[in-house]
Amino acid sequence: MNGTGTTQAPAERPPAKMDLWRRLDERLGRRQFLLKAGWACFWAFLGGWLLSNLRYLFPNVLYEPTLTFKAGQPDEYPLGVSTKWKKTNRVWIIREPAGFYAFWARCTHLGCTPNWFDAEQRFKCPCHGSNFNTEGDVIAGPAPKPLWRCAIRLADDGQILIDKARLENRPDARRKGDFFLPYHSA
């Protein structure tokens, strides 16, 4: 009894908290839990497999710069080697009194980018020491073949058009056809 003359019922105790595994065992049972977990893993695997097959239908596309570019008017180039397009398009343009030709600035040994040394009149590969003359022939080093010449022609608007998709490095063919642009300034 309390001081007012009424009796108070004892406070109810909250039920003891059960741990997670015991609750799952009472609700599902161990066998049902393993069965449902197995089916969940199966459906997750099947869903991943189907998504990967769906992704296969949409191939990756690698956008690379075009292999053909316009290099400006022929009168912009003095006699000798121009390194104007070496960084952006990996091409050297060489002007001779008879015309133009272009090299792909890629060593035929391992694909490094050689440098032009005007004082020595040669291209030198900084990685393994290959040397090439202004005709692209190997002078020294481990490079097995001459430098590749790119196809070159005049576009309709009078600019030099370089096509790196068409290459030639045979000595008898590189001065003919599309790999040498005869040009005489007016």
118 and 167 belong to one structural domain = yes
Structural domain of 98: 68-182
86 and 138 belong to one structural domain = yes
Structure confidence at residue 41 (pLDDT): 96
User: Residue 7 domain-assigned?
Assistant: no
Length of the chain: 186
pLDDT digits (tens, 9 = 90+) for 104-124: 888 888 888 888 888 888 888
Q: What is the band of 45 on the pLDDT scale with cuts at 50, 70, 90?
A: very high
Q: If residue 80 lies in a helix (H) or strand (E), which one and from where to where? A: strand 80-82
85 and 137 belong to one structural domain = yes
171 and 80 belong to one structural domain = yes
pLDDT at 48 over 90: yes
User: Residue 3 domain-assigned?
Assistant: no
Structure confidence at residue 46 (pLDDT): 96
140 and 100 belong to one structural domain = yes
pLDDT digits (tens, 9 = 90+) for 166-183: 888 888 887 777 888 888
33 and 119 belong to one structural domain = no
Structure confidence at residue 6 (pLDDT): 61
165 and 77 belong to one structural domain = yes
Structure confidence at residue 2 (pLDDT): 56
Query: Quick count: other Cβ atoms within 10 Å of Cβ 73?
Result: 12
How many CA atoms within 13 Å lie on the side-chain side of 64?
8
30 and 115 belong to one structural domain = no
**Structurally, how many domains does the chain consist of?**
2
User: Lowest mean pLDDT: which of 12-21, 63-72, 147-156, 176-185?
Assistant: 12-21
pLDDT digits (tens, 9 = 90+) for 53-94: 998 888 888 877 788 889 888 888 888 888 888 888 889 999
Measured between alpha carbons, how far is 96 from 65 in angstroms, rounded to an integer? 29
User: Residue 62 domain-assigned?
Assistant: no
C-alpha distances in angstroms, 171 versus 123, 137, 175? 17, 8, 8
